[in-house]
Chains A and B, each alone.
Chain A
Amino acid sequence: MKSYKDYTQLILKINGQIRKVIVSPNDTLLHVLREKLGLTGAKPGCENGDCGACTVLMDGKPVKSCIILAVEAEGHEITTIEGLKDTPIQRAFVEESAFQCGYCTPGFIMNCHAMLNTIPDADYDTIKEWLSSNICRCTGYEEIKKAVKKAQKIAGGL
């Protein structure tokens, strides 16, 4: 196993690009994305794994970047909200007004995006299970549910 001591250069693959960055072994991925790479789409909401605002994808799976170390991300494909362009779920979020303040939105979208890729026809129970890791304090979740349904339709070409 590779061991990291003191500040180290990492090579991260983020949104399809190779990014070199100097990190301390105990820097979280969230910290490195935001403070060192200027990718501020992932948000700190609790830095304790409880709210999902910091969600990014690691090899297509949603992870909470506040409880992943940057060094753990080496060798994996990281996708952040900045790496999504006009995806069905983003369009659906706009069309269904699935946000108010928008602070939880990048985290929700990343999680939804991963879910839609993994289980395109997720039913309501599956949606509930996946999205229960994210908190939205503004909406009553109604529009988020609708946006997921709509994105399923858009992706299905309906």
Chain B
Amino acid sequence: MGSIGISAVRKEAKDKVAGRLKYLNDYNSPDLLYGALKTSTFAHGRIKSIDISEALKMPGVRAVLTGKDLPYRFGIYLGDKPPLAIEKVRYYGEPVAAVVADSQREADEAVEAIKVEYEALEVINSPTEALADSAVLIHENMDEYPHIDAIRPEPGSNIANRTKIRKGNIKEGFEKSHVIVEETFSFPPSDHVAMETRAAVAEILGDGRIVIHSTTQAPFVVKNLMGAYFGVDPGKVTVIAHAIGGGYGGKAGMQLEGLVYLLSKAVGGKKVKLVNTREQDMITSPGHIGLEAKARIGASKEGELMAAELLFMFDSGAYADYAVNISRAAAIGCTGPYRVPNVWCDSLCVYTNHPFATAYRGFGHIELAFVIERTMDILADKLNMDSMELRMKNAICKGDTTPTQSLLDSNTGDLKACIKRTAEMIGWQEGSRVVTEDGKIRAKGFGCLWKAPAMPTNTDAGAIITFNEDGSINVHCGVVEIGQGIKTGFAQIAAEKFGIDVEQVHVIMDVNTSISPHDWATAASRGLMMGGRAILSACEDAISQIKHTASQVLRCPEEDLHVWGGRVFIKEEEHIGLLVKDVALGYVYPDGNAIGGQVIGRGKYISRRLTGIDPDTGKGNPALEWTLGAQAVELELDPTDCSYRIIKAACTMDVGKLINPAMARGQIAGGMAMALSFARQEGFEFNDRGHVINRDLRSYKTLRIGDAPEYLVDYVETPQGDGPYGARGLGEQGVIGIPGALANALSRALGVPFNHLPLTPESLWKKRRDNR
């Protein structure tokens, strides 16, 4: 039969093309009340007054709240963010007041009637400004904020976290280097632009139970934090996540849920819905982190990397959210997938007066890879070496150590094979810069990738399997369907284990924290690996229960039985057996006696042998697995105006084992498209007052169909020994090497180093002009 390695159609495909799959905002009922937010028009300002008197008189209004009413501070790692601004605002678009009304229109109209007066404070528009000695403090009381141990805030500064890596001896490393390159890099904050904006609904039931529906990738995180923030017994909080209209990390934290709960509380526990407008989704809710970085890398004459000194200054915006952990993840993987014996890295998460940042596809790795991959090309030029060869020479492999000094074991992917294959696909040998007959420049650029999940050491997953009367299976797991197709992947894994058709496996789409087995979060590209392991263990548990019951009927030892293709039978005498359907809900003898009862398969997985990292050196074992890969871009540029067209984007990834080729390709090509869009044309534009100018989809332009290149995708399959059927994560990785590859291709095309994103034709043109 074989259910692994086939492109099984998504379980929810028919509903999606019929417009019948319901997303959170598609659920409406007459008892709903609606929330709306008043947001800040200052990027940094003291709130002098908020006048809600007019708003309160407006028709349909049930409640108006301001920061004064809500003395809380939230934060997934560092508790720095009030649900509504208290005393001051720290970014343009920050919520300062909220209204609950009978309809969305009435809520919106009441928001317009709220009057806020601010006194402008100095605006910090970049990490460099934030780190200046004279910089104003964005969080004056940082020392009072609670935080987890892994995060190291520096009160009295604008640094929310500093993660250090000290490996080998950096001084010696540079002394031994023949060639040293040093460069600076940057890109502004940007946005995920999930097509579904964030939404949440909360109600408080008569017995105090809280029910939250949310567009969340992390229902269990929300449940846990709701309990922690509000002192509510976690068993009294239910969080329900429906299918989500795109996440990319942007829905992985705690976002609207806390506020919407407080709104519900303000109206006696009635059901309140809060939905972001597109503009709010872009700037009020968190987006993609910005970065300023310095890299100094040394190599021997032969191009062997000797030392890397890296300073990452992440632009966290006004609050820390996931950004503190992104800066940590970037430190852990700081060198990219290369063998570097001597490493010094300080990775800082810096507050600014920009919209704040949360998880974004690639989580620290797309950011660090841009820095590293550009530096590799600059180094190759200086060494007079082919940039692909330089990568090949230094590609990390089994037996090497990572920046945190942890040893890469036999589960490590084959980066060299990936580089080789990508070079073939993109036609690297045919030349990386060619001038065409009509005067256009065709250029290619390379970029490698690696990524490990950044997650707690005890990250877990669980699965439950039950049976129907026809022997078909129901699989229940707490990973959220965000478009990655995880439910279908799980069905394939279960089908393979039972030797049945994927059609015979049913999945439960929604996740409900009161019913679903615990799952850390749908993030870090660990759903397939960890959830998959849990599904396998649930299958094994179910199989042993089936065998137990069957062994009594068939009068044979359990060990002699095999479950496959809807039957349980004696291995050597296949004709002696029973149908699974006759056993899975209890076996009934001809005389009516029943035994065994129903089979409920329980499965779980918890990450193994992970540790934190040493605060002074970064030494430790924080990475569950590393996915490795190599990417390349080919483009055609018109040197007269620097406009360009991306022709091809290529990726070879060591995925361990391909579970569903169509979905894997979709993830990887989709990731490349997202990264091309980011690197080429996305990024918030700020005026000197810290206002975001491009906060709608008309002025903030994402990739459209006509800009899409041809995608070349291939795989290497070095099994992940502890992954399900050898598989490892691949959902985020497609983005990682692309910004570097694009910048490398453009730098090669024009002979000018491009180290700052986005790479719009205008910015290329200006840079070329300045360079002349």
Q: List A residues at the B interface (Cβ < 8 Å).
A: 24, 34-35, 38, 40-51, 53, 80-82, 84, 90, 93-95, 97, 99-106, 109, 127-129, 131-132, 134-145
Contacts and interface: CB of A to CB of B under 8 A. Distances in A.
Interface stretch (B239-247, B544-552, B574-582): B239-247
Contact of B708 (A80, A99, A142): A142
B702 A137 contact: yes
B431 interface: no
Contacts of A24: 105
Interface string B684-716: 000000000000111000111110111100000
B669 interface: yes
Given A42-B19, A80-B19, A141-B708, A101 B482 contact: yes
Interface string B648-675: 0100000000000011001101101110
Contact of B23 (A46, A103, A142): A103
Given A44-B25, A137-B246, A106 B195 contact: no
B359 to A, nearest CB: 16
A141 B673 contact: yes
Contact of B196 (A95, A103, A132, A145): A103
Interface stretch (B5-13, B43-51, B742-750): B5-13
B57 interface: no
Given A48-B698, A82-B18, A103-B23, 5 more contacts: A48-B697, A97-B9, A109-B17, A138-B670, A141-B705
B21 interface: yes
Contacts of B13: 93-94, 97, 99
Nearest to B275: A44
A43 B25 CA distance: 9
Interface residues of B, number: 58
Contacts, number: 161
A141 B105 CA distance: 35
A140 to B, nearest CB: 3
B398 interface: no
Contact of B246 (A95, A103, A132, A145): A103
A11 to B, nearest CB: 22
A129 B10 CA distance: 29
Nearest to B193: A137
Contacts of A44: 25, 197
Interface in B300-316: none
Nearest to A53: B195
Nearest to B247: A101
A81 B16 contact: no
B17 A104 contact: no
A43 B245 contact: yes
A128 B14 CA distance: 25
A131 B25 contact: no
Interface in B703-733: 703-706, 708-711
A49 B697 CA distance: 9
A95 B244 CA distance: 22
Q: Which of A38, A40, A127, A142 gathers the greatest number of chain B CB atoms within 10 Å?
A: A142
A43 B666 contact: no
A81 B19 contact: yes
A79 B678 CA distance: 35
A143 B708 CA distance: 11
Given A102-B21, A135-B195, A142-B669, A47 B278 contact: yes
B129 to A, nearest CB: 31
Nearest to A106: B19
A104 B197 CA distance: 12
20 contacts: A38-B28, A40-B22, A43-B245, A45-B196, A46-B278, A51-B195, A53-B195, A81-B19, A90-B18, A99-B17, A100-B667, A102-B16, A105-B17, A129-B706, A137-B246, A137-B702, A140-B708, A141-B704, A141-B708, A142-B708
Given A97-B7, A101-B243, A50 B18 contact: no
A140 B649 CA distance: 10
Nearest to A147: B17
Contacts of B105: 24
A131 B705 contact: yes
The 10 closest A-B pairs by CB, nearest first: A41-B19, A101-B483, A103-B245, A81-B19, A140-B673, A102-B16, A100-B483, A50-B697, A40-B26, A140-B669
A137 B705 contact: no
Interface in B366-418: none
Contact of A94 (B9, B21, B248, B703): B9
Contact of B705 (A34, A95, A97, A132): A132
Nearest to B14: A94
B190 interface: no
A97 B663 contact: yes
Contacts of A135: 193, 195, 697, 702, 704
Contacts of B25: 44
Contact of B673 (A38, A46, A95, A139): A139
A142 B667 CA distance: 12
Nearest to B710: A142
A47 B277 contact: yes
A82 B659 CA distance: 33
A139 B195 contact: no
Contact of B669 (A42, A102, A105, A139): A139
Contacts of B669: 139-140, 142
Contact of A137 (B12, B26, B194, B662): B194
B608 interface: no
B9 A139 contact: no
Nearest to B673: A140
B23 A43 contact: yes
Contacts of B16: 93, 99, 102, 105
